[in-house]
Amino acid sequence: MSEITNEQRRHSAAHLMARAVMNVFEDVAVDIGPATDDGFYYDFDLPHRISTDDFPKIEAEIKRLIELDEPFVKKVVSRAECEQMLKGQKYKLERLADIPQGEDISTYTVGDYVEMCRGPHVEKSSQIGVVKLTRVAGSYYRGDEKNKMLQRVYGIVAKDQAELDAIIAREEEARRRDHRVLGRELELFTITDSVGPGLAHWLPKGARIRVAIEDYWRKKHYEAGYEIVYTPHVGRANLWQTSGHLGFYKEGMFPPMKVSEGEGEGAYVEEYYVKPMNCPFHIQIYQAKKRSYRDLPMRMAELGTVYRYEKDGVRHGLFRVRGFTQDDAHILCTPEQIVKEIKDTVNFAKAMLGKFGFHDIQAYLSTKPEKAVGDPERWEQATASLRAALEEEGLSYEVDEGGGAFYGPKIDMKIKDALGRPWQLGTVQFDFNLPERFDLTYVGADGKDHRPYMVHRALLGSIERFFGILIEHYAGAFPLWLAPEQIRILPISDKAMDYAKKVQAALRAAGFRVDIDISAEKLGAKIRLATVQKVPYQVVVGPRDEAAGVISARSRTDGDLGAMKTEDLIARLKAEIEA
């Protein structure tokens, strides 16, 4: 028997949880229950309101079902057979209706429970291991808020109790690092109902970190030969029709704004959409004048804010929002330049992610699907250039055969955070579609028009999501160069306030973010507060320090540093940032 994978355990546990809930409660209708990256869930519709108080009895029933050691039996059935097997389960029957006529219908049966499913599963229930339920939440049927709200129960599974204990410990640590909680406690960002769900406000401390990220981003892009551009937040409907977004992506866009244009008899109504992506705007910049092969490669980068209609049940803190800023870039080049451009881009992504502390990078190369646009030779060259870049940079990668978009192959880069969780960040995506749709050309050395290669590229993804990942990766204790408040000065009393301001001015002049605790609290309380708020350095000053021309410094990582000159602390801080 082959080794059992996590996906098999998770998927099989989801089936048993659905069976257990149906055994424990009455009038249960089930919808879907997939495996996830860290566990599984299942959506239920039943009169009883499931709560964490119900988890012990559900878990006990799951344990009983596991111990029955029943096989998971796969069977391919006809549509009529499947309808009979799922009789009375309205959500399952609706899902069955989505399957195209003539397509095989795969089912799995364990005991008296049958599920329309492609697998994979364990061979028998005893191989699942140990299951624990973690939380329950609401989820609209099919993700549409117009539909009924179902109850989504989440769980985790492990091969034995020791592994489960380790998973639970990681889950508890993940909750401790939750960016939504730390964002509130450390006063980094807020999302309010008054403005709208999924629309984040960057508070002053969070904004300081964003500025540090963006300043570094801009500096490195200029060094890499990119030109930074700015584009509008809205565009006419015909732009999005040409790009194909209205045909393929309209459900993810906000409704249009209707605007009256012209006057008198020539007046008409025009529709404008807030942009879900930046690419059509960058194409407009490329088309602002006729381009020659001598102008290429043309590298455009933008911290462009876009808007997407993310529905209820999908939004999650900063990880999934409705308004976010992409670190977006597009490269237009000749076929001869493409290999070098891709290699440089992969190297750029690797260096950028490394700066933020992410060195464990796994790449995924997605190749041509069955239905694709573009010249087959271009697909081959594009795929070869992506593969060569990954191998030259020594990046570990997996190939997803046929997993590319219809408009081009791509590389996705995933990093692992401090808890070992994978996050997709960098993307390098070829596009053979938009150059055709917008009829992009350049004049070659032969004097004739040629079609340029176009590459979409992101290094960090969105600034909001990346910030959320950083918060959780560092548990809010940001490295010195990113910390919103790098140094906090703690005057012993009001008599030391003037000296505190003098020290603050010297540190600010050296380029550091410095605040003074002006409260009337005692020194011990000030130190505790600075520690809780994860300030990297504390500087204590009093009349004696002023008389001696020194400060008393304390590091978040190294503890008490003793008395030193302000210039000595500056030298230490600069060395730490360089390192």
Burial class (CB within 10 angstroms; exposed 0-12, middle 13-18, buried 19+) of 414:
middle
Closest CA to 231 of 329, 333, 308, 341: 329
pLDDT of residue 2: 64
Residue 339 CA: distances (Å) to CA of 392, 399, 425, 563: 11, 19, 22, 55
CA distance 276 to 240: 10
Let me know if 322 is a catalytic residue.
no
How far is residue 481's CA from residue 356's CA, in Å, rounded to a whole number?
A: 10
DSSP string, 113-162: EEEE------SBGGGS-EEEEEEEEEEEGGG-TTSPEEEEEEEEEESSHH
Catalytic-role residue among 328, 431, 517, 545: 328
Question: Do residues 525 and 537 lie in contact, with contact meaning Cβ atoms separated by under 8 Å?
Answer: no
Six-digit token string for 9: 């355990």
pTM of the predicted model over 0.75: yes
Of the residues 10, 279, 299, 517, which is catalytic?
Answer: 279
**What does the block give as tokens for 574?**
């600069």
308 is catalytic: yes
Q: What residues contact residue 47 under an 8 Å CB cut-off, 6+ apart?
A: 26, 27
Query: How far is residue 306 from each of residues 234, 258, 302, 321, 362, measured CA to CA in Å?
Result: 9, 19, 11, 10, 27
Q: How far is CA 217 from CA 214, 328, 366, 475, 574, in A?
A: 5, 11, 27, 22, 20
- For residue 523 the two structure tokens come to 């020194």
Token duo for residue 483: 């910390």
Q: Which residues contact 305 (CB under 8 A, 6 or more apart)?
A: 233, 323, 324, 325, 326
Active site residue 179: no
Residues 204-214 pLDDT 10s: 999 999 999 99
Q: Are 438 and 330 in contact (CB under 8 A)?
A: no
Please tell me the distance from the alpha carbon of residue 531 to that of residue 485, in angstroms, as a whole number.
Answer: 12
Specify whether the CB–CB gap between 540 and 499 falls below 8 A. no
Active site residue 326: yes
User: Among the options 132, 308, 343, 457, which is catalytic?
Assistant: 308
Place of tokens 């012990």: 56
- Annotated catalytic residue 330: yes
Question: Beta partners for 333?
Answer: 453
pLDDT for res 38: 83
Catalytic residue among 152, 208, 330, 343: 330
227-228 and 298-307 beta bridge pairing: parallel
Identify residue 214 by its one-letter amino acid code: E
Question: Which of left, alpha, beta for 559 (phi over 0: left; psi -120 to 50: alpha)?
Answer: left
Strand partners, 115: 108
**49 included as an active-site residue:** no
Adjacent-strand bridge partners of 423? 415
Cβ proximity of 399 and 350 under 8 Å: no
**How much is the pLDDT for 153?**
97
| Under-70 pLDDT residues of the chain | 1-2
- Three-state SS string over 312-351 comes to CCCCECCCECCEEEEEEEEEEECHHHHHHHHHHHHHHHHH
Direct distance between the N- and C-terminal alpha carbons of the chain, in angstroms, rounded to an integer: 50
416 φ, ψ (degrees, to nearest 5): -115, 135
Which pLDDT score, from 0 to 100, does residue 415 have? 95
- Determine whether 360 is an active site residue: no
CA angle 465, 250, 468 (to 5 degrees): 5
Write out pLDDT tens, residues 72-104: 999 999 998 898 998 889 999 999 998 888 888
